[in-house]
């Protein structure tokens, strides 16, 4: 069985789990109740901030008019829209639907037309230290060439193009070139396997794949093209007509004549003038696959006008961007939504100058990021808690060796940030002065939803705090009733927002079931949350079978399906166990097939099985999904209705006393598991 195939489980199988039983490693409810530090904005920051308290008032006075104003102010329309929101087809929203525009024109051309062509768009830094400076005028030419080249390869408006790339200028160019001709891009993270790539290509029915020979990672060239070749050899990827290959590492690549074309042959030689394809606001801009609670990744669909509006609005106000003077850097990869909204669309719509870095933070030394902050005088920096915790471990003397005084604002995203990491980030990286914006959002929300506003909000370490102006979020109990201040429950979004997903590609029913059926009329985000006494929101982690490993979303079911697709395994259960570094770590419990059952009886045998299965998961999904530990067990704990009680397995994985097991079909199972692992029951 492939990871793409679900095993007949329901979307949610945690019905027995109490509201506060979230998967979050970091801040427990108890801890957070004791967190009382607050950091009011400095008068100096507040005076110059883009965001003013009146933003909340404006949005509250007339939410739709507020969004219409953002859309007119921040986005350039070819044809102005006359209707703001059409919610008659709920839960599929239509925003600014009768307007037309082009995303690449908004990100690039209009800045050149405004006389800003010489402004640096991207300071690119390769891992080996090669650099490239790209202005907005350069971007316009490059995106136009790529658009002409894609059109020559047969890509038309409405087609899908898969992008499987390292972090290169060409990656952003490729995305914008698709947008320029009205083709939806679907970026697949370069760390995903050939199998994962194939299932995404197949689901999107992509016509072209854009890739590179490889990229530099951890000091060595890391190949990408072979995974594309392998993906296209398999069944399901017949839609692909061409593979467009950027030369980066100059590794040897296999070549399929007629199908494969070099970027430098077809893009560099193409005409650098291209008339953008004007599309309707609801024209698909991109599909991005993300893990859900079943085995099959969801193709999250975003469209053009509303997405761009909220991308630009949030980037301007949450990061306080001053495009003339700031140097912005988001350390994400374009394979994730953060790279879409806060590297490509938000910053470029706002005409920002940004740093783009190809490699890992510790190559060739653990100060690489801070060296880049010093070198480019980065003023706004956006990263993930897992990276902050890694830097904490490496020691504060490393950032102390660099001049970080250019930094004036820090952002965090991807998982709850534990208060200690928040404090360290502010003190060591932010020189004890920078505001920190802890931004909660999801692939599905398209842009930031909950975050302090710098210069306005008094920040609290560990809390994303308040819905942005224009956004309606709440914490509700099992009956969908808002909890009082001090209470805990589920995070929901109660009004449509411009950058909301417009569905799951090809599966409207799954879209409704996943997000809109738990609490009718409310968008269920899948996160547990609490409100403190001030009504501020604290995110507590996922309440479903989705793990968060180093800020990346992984599905327990997807990894379980990968494990049972190996001949050794009869059954598997995966949990996210708290991990100091990565937030959560994947821990797998497997029952071996009868004929292999004895093989785990020796240390050597179980080590071999563990390695085989870890490699197998890496091949099926990608190295990020490799279980940290694989435990061979005789049974799995199940309820009478056959659902695996992951809560109990998490107790085992986290070396805790096992909690209430009374709803198990067979209550002796936990003893059996504990005994097999050599633990007292
Ligand atoms: C899930 C979404 C949004 C881009 C990166 C991840 C968790 C994200 C925060 C935050 C607490 C957070 C949630 C959410 N999450 N940001 N600031 N505080 N949790 O995107 O892969 O779509 O994952 O990440 O659990 O549901 P994603």
pLDDT score of 22 more than 70: no
The answer to whether the annotation marks 119 as part of a ligand binding site is no
Mean pLDDT, the chain, rounded, equals 92
Higher pLDDT, 601 or 373: 373
User: Is 453 strand, coil or helix?
Assistant: coil
Do 477 and 605 lie in one domain? The reply is no
Model confidence band, residue 8 (pLDDT cutoffs 50, 70, 90) = very low
The answer to whether the annotation marks 553 as part of a ligand binding site is yes
Do 603 and 458 lie in one domain? The reply is no
Is residue 25 in some structural domain?
A: no
**What global pTM score does this model have?**
0.90
Is residue 23 in some structural domain?
A: no
> 279: CA distance to ligand 1 center in Å?
30
Indicate the angle between helix axes 169-181 and 136-152, nearest 10 degrees. Answer: 60
Do 334 and 434 lie in one domain? The reply is yes
Rounded Cα gap, residues 19 and 16, in angstroms: 9
Rounded Cα gap, residues 139 and 343, in angstroms: 14
Q: Write down the pLDDT at residue 640.
A: 79
Q: Are 547 and 556 in contact (CB under 8 A)?
A: yes
Rounded Cα gap, residues 168 and 333, in angstroms: 10
CATH number of domain containing 569: 3.30.300.30
Task: Tell me what the mean pLDDT of segment 247-264 comes to.
Answer: 98
Q: Write down the pLDDT at residue 3.
A: 36
Task: Tell me what the mean pLDDT of segment 50-58 comes to.
Answer: 98
pLDDT score of 73 more than 80: yes
pLDDT score of 19 more than 60: no
pLDDT score of 402 more than 50: yes
Is residue 5 in some structural domain?
A: no
Chain-centroid distance, C-alpha 185: 16
Q: Write down the pLDDT at residue 31.
A: 58
> 648: CA distance to ligand 1 center in Å?
24
Do 613 and 527 lie in one domain? The reply is no
Model confidence band, residue 665 (pLDDT cutoffs 50, 70, 90) = confident
User: Is residue 276 reached through a cis peptide bond, with omega within 30 degrees of 0 on the bond before it?
Assistant: no
Q: Which residue has the tokens 């509201």?
A: 19
**Ligand 1 atom closest to Cα of 464?**
17
Indicate the angle between helix axes 646-653 and 669-676, nearest 10 degrees. Answer: 30
pLDDT score of 619 more than 50: yes
> 531: CA distance to ligand 1 center in Å?
18
**Ligand 1 atom closest to Cα of 525?**
26
Rounded Cα gap, residues 396 and 368, in angstroms: 14
Do 517 and 583 lie in one domain? The reply is no
- pLDDT tens across 545-581, in order? 889 998 888 989 889 989 989 999 988 999 999 998 8
Rounded Cα gap, residues 492 and 476, in angstroms: 7
3-state helix, strand, coil in the chain (%, to 5): 35, 25, 45
Higher pLDDT, 35 or 407: 407
**Ligand 1 atom closest to Cα of 24?**
25
> 500: CA distance to ligand 1 center in Å?
15
Q: Write down the pLDDT at residue 369.
A: 98
Is residue 441 in some structural domain?
A: yes
Do 486 and 619 lie in one domain? The reply is no
Chain-centroid distance, C-alpha 619: 21
The answer to whether the annotation marks 353 as part of a ligand binding site is no
Nearest in space to 171 (alpha carbons), one of 248, 57, 273: 248
For a substitution probing ligand 1, which of 24, 331, 467, 548 has the most ligand atoms within 8 Å of its CB?
A: 548
Torsions phi, psi for 225 (to 5 deg): -55, -40
Do 523 and 574 lie in one domain? The reply is no
Do 504 and 577 lie in one domain? The reply is no
> Which of 497, 531, 565 is the last residue in one of the domains?
531
Task: Tell me what the mean pLDDT of segment 261-290 comes to.
Answer: 98
Instruction: Name 488's bridge partners.
Output: 530
Task: Tell me what the mean pLDDT of segment 286-299 comes to.
Answer: 89
Do 451 and 342 lie in one domain? The reply is yes
pLDDT score of 420 more than 60: yes
The number of beta carbons lying within 10 Å of the beta carbon of residue 395 is: 11
Would you give the end-to-end CA distance of the chain in angstroms?
A: 34
Is residue 32 in some structural domain?
A: no
The number of beta carbons lying within 10 Å of the beta carbon of residue 514 is: 21
Q: Write down the pLDDT at residue 33.
A: 57
Which residue has the CA at smallest separation from atom 14 of ligand 1?
Answer: 442
For a substitution probing ligand 1, which of 413, 450, 493, 541 has the most ligand atoms within 8 Å of its CB?
A: 413
Q: Are 327 and 355 in contact (CB under 8 A)?
A: yes
> 128: CA distance to ligand 1 center in Å?
31
Q: How many domains, the chain? A: 2
User: Is 171 strand, coil or helix?
Assistant: helix
Do 275 and 163 lie in one domain? The reply is yes
Residues with CB under 6 A from ligand 1: 290, 336-338, 413-416, 438-443, 464, 525-527, 539, 542, 548, 551, 553
Do 621 and 650 lie in one domain? The reply is yes
The answer to whether the annotation marks 279 as part of a ligand binding site is no
CATH number of domain containing 292: 3.40.50.12780
Which residue has the CA at smallest separation from atom 24 of ligand 1?
Answer: 414
Lowest model confidence (mean pLDDT) among 250-254, 540-544, 625-629: 540-544
Is residue 462 in some structural domain?
A: yes
Task: Tell me what the mean pLDDT of segment 433-437 comes to.
Answer: 97
- Write a three-state SS string for 201-249: HHHHCCCEEEEECEEEECCEEEECHHHHHHHHHCCCCCCCCEEEEECCC
User: Is residue 91 reached through a cis peptide bond, with omega within 30 degrees of 0 on the bond before it?
Assistant: yes
> Which of 465, 499, 531 is the last residue in one of the domains?
531
Segment holding 606, helix H or strand E: helix 603-620
For a substitution probing ligand 1, which of 293, 465, 553, 576 has the most ligand atoms within 8 Å of its CB?
A: 553
The number of beta carbons lying within 10 Å of the beta carbon of residue 271 is: 12
Is residue 604 in some structural domain?
A: yes
Model confidence band, residue 10 (pLDDT cutoffs 50, 70, 90) = very low
- pLDDT tens across 98-142, in order? 999 999 999 999 999 999 999 999 999 999 999 999 999 999 999
Q: CA torsion, points 370, 450, 288, 214, in degrees to nearest 10? A: 0
The answer to whether the annotation marks 387 as part of a ligand binding site is no
Q: Write down the pLDDT at residue 660.
A: 83
The answer to whether the annotation marks 305 as part of a ligand binding site is no
Task: Tell me what the mean pLDDT of segment 586-611 comes to.
Answer: 91
Which residue has the CA at smallest separation from atom 27 of ligand 1?
Answer: 442
Q: Write down the pLDDT at residue 196.
A: 94
> 113: CA distance to ligand 1 center in Å?
36
pLDDT score of 16 more than 60: no
pLDDT score of 296 more than 60: yes
Is residue 265 in some structural domain?
A: yes
> Which of 531, 562, 582 is the last residue in one of the domains?
531
Beta-strand ranges (E) seen in 405-513 are: 409-413, 436-439, 473-476, 488-493, 503-504
Q: Are 555 and 542 in contact (CB under 8 A)?
A: no
Alpha-carbon distances, residue 104 vs 98, 183, 307 (angstroms): 19, 11, 13
Model confidence band, residue 12 (pLDDT cutoffs 50, 70, 90) = very low
**Which distant-in-sequence residues (6+ apart) come within 8 Å of 94 by Cβ?**
85, 86, 87, 281, 282
Do 474 and 566 lie in one domain? The reply is no
User: Is 623 strand, coil or helix?
Assistant: helix
Q: Write down the pLDDT at residue 121.
A: 99
Q: Write down the pLDDT at residue 403.
A: 98
Rounded Cα gap, residues 438 and 210, in angstroms: 33
The range of the structural domain enclosing residue 648 comes to 550-678
DSSP assignment letter at 451: -
Rounded Cα gap, residues 600 and 453, in angstroms: 54
The answer to whether the annotation marks 272 as part of a ligand binding site is no
Task: Tell me what the mean pLDDT of segment 636-662 comes to.
Answer: 86
DSSP assignment letter at 259: T
> 493: CA distance to ligand 1 center in Å?
14
Alpha-carbon distances, residue 298 vs 164, 511, 619 (angstroms): 17, 9, 20
> 442: CA distance to ligand 1 center in Å?
5
> 625: CA distance to ligand 1 center in Å?
17
């Amino acid at each position: 069985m492939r990871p793409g195939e679900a095993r007949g489980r329901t979307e949610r199988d945690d019905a027995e789990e109490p509201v506060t039983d979230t998967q979050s490693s970091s801040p427990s409810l108890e801890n957070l109740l004791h967190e009382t530090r607050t950091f009011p904005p400095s008068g100096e920051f507040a005076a110059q901030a883009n965001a003013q308290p009146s933003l909340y008032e404006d949005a509250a006075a007339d939410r739709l008019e507020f969004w219409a104003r953002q859309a007119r102010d921040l986005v350039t329309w070819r044809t102005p829209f006359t209707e703001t929101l059409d919610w008659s087809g709920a839960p599929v929203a239509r925003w600014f639907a009768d307007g037309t525009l082009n995303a690449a024109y908004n990100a690039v051309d209009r800045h050149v037309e405004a006389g800003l062509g010489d402004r640096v768009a991207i300071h690119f830094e390769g891992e080996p230290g090669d650099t490239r400076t790209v202005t907005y005028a350069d971007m316009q030419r490059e995106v136009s060439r790529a658009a002409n080249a894609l059109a020559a390869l047969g890509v038309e408006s409405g087609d899908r193009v898969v992008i499987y790339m390292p972090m290169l200028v060409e990656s952003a160019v490729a995305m914008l070139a698709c947008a320029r001709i009205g083709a939806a891009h679907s970026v697949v993270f370069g760390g995903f396997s050939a199998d994962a790539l194939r299932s995404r290509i197949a689901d999107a029915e992509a016509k072209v794949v854009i890739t590179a020979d490889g990229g530099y990672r951890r000091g060595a060239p890391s190949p990408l093209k072979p995974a594309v070749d392998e993906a296209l050899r398999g069944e399901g990827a017949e839609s692909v007509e061409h593979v467009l290959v950027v030369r980066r590492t100059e590794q040897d690549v296999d070549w399929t004549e007629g199908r494969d074309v070099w970027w430098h042959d077809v893009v560099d030689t193409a005409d650098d003038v291209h008339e953008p394809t004007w599309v309707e606001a609801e024209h698909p801009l991109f599909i991005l696959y993300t893990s859900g609670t079943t085995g099959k990744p969801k193709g999250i669909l975003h469209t053009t006008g509303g997405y761009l509006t909220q991308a630009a609005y949030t980037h301007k106000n949450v990061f306080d961007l001053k495009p003339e003077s700031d140097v912005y850097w988001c350390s994400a990869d374009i394979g994730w939504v953060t790279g879409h909204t806060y590297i490509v669309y938000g910053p470029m719509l706002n005409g920002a100058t940004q740093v783009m870095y190809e490699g890992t933070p510790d190559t060739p030394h653990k100060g690489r990021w801070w060296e880049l902050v010093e070198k480019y005088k980065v003023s706004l920096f956006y990263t993930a808690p897992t990276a902050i915790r890694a830097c904490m471990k490496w020691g504060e003397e490393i950032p102390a060796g660099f001049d970080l005084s250019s930094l004036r604002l820090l952002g965090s995203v991807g998982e709850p940030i534990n208060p200690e990491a928040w404090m360290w980030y502010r003190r060591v990286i932010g020189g004890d002065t920078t505001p920190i914006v802890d931004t909660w959002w999801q692939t599905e929300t398209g842009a930031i939803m909950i975050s302090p506003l710098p210069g306005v909000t008094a920040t609290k370490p560990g809390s994303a705090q308040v819905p942005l102006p224009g956004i309606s979020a709440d914490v509700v109990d099992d009956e969908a009733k808002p909890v009082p201040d001090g209470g805990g429950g589920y995070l929901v979004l109660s009004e449509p927002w411009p950058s909301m997903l417009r569905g799951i590609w090809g599966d409207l029913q799954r879209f409704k079931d996943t997000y809109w059926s738990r609490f009718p009329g409310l968008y269920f985000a899948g996160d547990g949350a609490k409100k403190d006494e001030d009504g501020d929101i604290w995110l507590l982690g996922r309440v479903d079978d989705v793990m968060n490993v180093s800020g990346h979303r992984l599905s327990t079911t997807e990894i379980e399906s990968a494990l049972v697709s190996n001949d050794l395994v009869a059954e598997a259960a995966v949990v996210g166990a708290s991990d100091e570094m990565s937030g959560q770590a994947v821990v797998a419990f497997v029952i071996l097939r009868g004929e292999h059952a004895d093989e785990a009886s020796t240390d050597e045998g179980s080590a071999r099985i563990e390695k085989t299965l870890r490699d197998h998961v890496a091949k099926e999904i990608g190295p990020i999904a490799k279980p940290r530990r694989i435990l061979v067990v005789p049974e799995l704990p199940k309820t009478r209705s056959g659902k695996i009680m992951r809560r109990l397995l998490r107790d085992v994985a986290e070396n805790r006393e096992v909690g209430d097991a009374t709803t198990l079909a067979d209550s002796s199972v936990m003893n059996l598991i504990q005994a097999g692992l050599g633990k007292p029951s």
